[in-house]
Amino acid sequence: MIPRNIINLGVFELEKEISQAVIRRMPRYYRYLGELIDAGVERISSGDLSSRMNVTASQIRQDLNNFGGFGQQGYGYNVKYLYEEIGKILGLCERHSIIILGAGNLGQALANYVDFEKFGFAIIALFDVNPDLKGTKIRGIKIHMLEELDEFTRSHKVDIAALTLPKSKADTVASHLVSLGITAIWNFAHVDLELPDKNVIVENVHLSDSLMQLSYNIVKDKPYQRF
Amino acid sequence: MIPRNIINLGVFELEKEISQAVIRRMPRYYRYLGELIDAGVERISSGDLSSRMNVTASQIRQDLNNFGGFGQQGYGYNVKYLYEEIGKILGLCERHSIIILGAGNLGQALANYVDFEKFGFAIIALFDVNPDLKGTKIRGIKIHMLEELDEFTRSHKVDIAALTLPKSKADTVASHLVSLGITAIWNFAHVDLELPDKNVIVENVHLSDSLMQLSYNIVKDKPYQRF
DNA sequence: TAGATTGTTAATCGATTAACAATC
DNA sequence: TAGATTGTTAATCGATTAACAATC
């Protein structure tokens, strides 16, 4: 039983903070390995994987070795084993319950997204202020009124709160969630949350930012009038 | 009239490829500057902005100076001017038309998202294979059948195609879009697209990857059974 | 054993931060 | 002018790539 970012160096255990650059790539490895399993591939070398994924073999080996030696010299990696180990590293073997704050289009879209369950994420409730939605269900998941939130968090274990509400309400709701003991927020609101507790984990999905990046890449070579 | 990633060095013009790390930060600057405008702030120094944004003042100045000198010694930056210049850099002054492929929950959520218009992005049509949706409108935007796509692209200028469809269909549709002359894809499908043309600009929004990153940060300090 | 491929160290490259002269 | 703050160069830090000994 060792924490997943502690590398055992014989007698010593050295805690290493793994860079977010590495973490960002792990789900992608996981995805490709899943596809290899579906394709019936049993083993793969870092070289093979690197040409499929357009990254260097060096990077793959370095990334994986942050967490341990999962391969075997002269053989490569067992696809299924590596897939499972990355799953464990990413916490996909544990069940994570999610509540969605804001049952608008995006909130409902997330609630309808079945694939999350495959990875251990279960959406257990939505919340909104719109009384028309009261009692409505999305794929069997109930939409509650926001005032029921406190009671709900007392009676249910909530691991993640997804924020799919207007940015004007995001900060207030987020702070309230933190006061209720929520420690992880998946933020779709178009703001950087300002939270009372620095230990809360926030993962942002800023769709407008993403679209602007796309836009930049479209226009970058076109001339523009600066002055 | 100079391309936005060309720095004028007196006699010479040196084309510089600006790193994606910088580009990723530009929309965030833009967002904060927008908030400053709303708050009535007229000028700001890199130092002030850095403490608000939790980045170093050095980084802000370096980032901006990739595109030009927008500030003034002893004064700082004019908020409104800088906001507008970053908008130009990101291509937000030009109109970008978007079509959405896949009118499921996520596609409809995007179509309903009004804020994109503020930045010059206009969603002009959705496409789906589900005949029940034929002729339906989302916020006045018509849902077409997929077989009308070719005709539509011939009669309309399409700058961006958003892919909000199952991953099984993503590659086929994407390749077809490229063959129709689409050069920019905003991909929400849970795959890395394999496109015939390497010049096509792809911006990925992999929600599962994002959720897995969040999950990693939740579980990273917990022990786990590796073997 | 010979060949293949890892795990890991060393070298390189790029991005971030610090420092400061230029200048408003 | 004095103070403030930029633009930019130099120093540092971290991430990526290359190389190769270890080993299956």
> Which domain CATH number covers A193?
3.40.50.720
B222 within a domain of the structure (yes/no): no
B18 touches strand C (CB under 7 A): no
DSSP annotation of B73 reads T
The pTM (predicted TM-score) of the whole model is 0.93
CA distance B6 to B15: 5
Together in a domain, B74 and B128: no
B2/A226 CB distance under 8 A: yes
Q: How far apart are CA B11 and CA A215, in angstroms?
A: 30
**Residue A18 pLDDT > 50, yes or no?**
yes
Size (chain A), residues: 227
Helix (H) or strand (E) run with residue B208 in it: helix B207-219
For strand C, which nucleotides have at least one atom less than 7 Å from a protein CB?
2-9, 14-19, 22-24
Distance of CA A173 to the CA centre of its chain: 20
Say yes or no to pLDDT of A86 above 80: yes
Question: Crossing angle, helix B105-112 and helix A105-112, to 10 degrees?
Answer: 170
Q: Which of B31, B105, B217 comes nearest A109 by C-beta? A: B105
Residues B51 and B106 reside in one and the same domain:
no
d(CA B55, CA B42) in angstroms, rounded, equals 21
Q: How many CB atoms lie within 10 A of CB B11?
A: 5
Nearest residue by alpha-carbon distance to C1' of C23: B73
CATH number of the structural domain spanning residue B73: 1.10.10.10
Per residue of chain B (227 residues), give pLDDT as tens: 344 554 443 333 445 789 999 999 999 999 999 999 999 999 999 999 999 999 999 999 999 999 999 999 999 999 999 999 999 999 999 999 999 999 999 999 999 998 999 999 999 999 999 999 999 999 999 999 999 999 999 999 999 999 999 999 999 999 999 999 999 999 999 999 999 888 999 999 999 999 999 999 999 987 664 43
Residue type, B56: T
Does B105 fall in a domain? yes
Closest alpha carbon to A15 in A1, A28, A5: A5
Tokens 């936005």, residue? Answer: B4
Nearest to B208 among A27, A85, A208 (CB): A27
Chain A residues 55-94 with Cβ under 7 Å of strand C are 57-58, 61-62, 64-65, 69-77
Predicted confidence at residue B221, as pLDDT, reads: 83
Range of B61's domain? Answer: 4-89
State the Cα–Cα distance between residues A212 and A59, nearest whole angstrom.
Answer: 29
Q: What is the DSSP string of B102-146?
A: --SHHHHHHHH-THHHHTTEEEEEEEES-GGGTT-EETTEEEEEG
B151/chain A closest Cα distance in angstroms: 24
CB contact under 8 A, B4 and A213: no
If asked whether residues A134 and A198 sit together in one domain, one would say: yes
Q: Using one digit for the tens of pLDDT, what is the confidence trace for A37-56?
A: 999 999 999 999 999 999 99
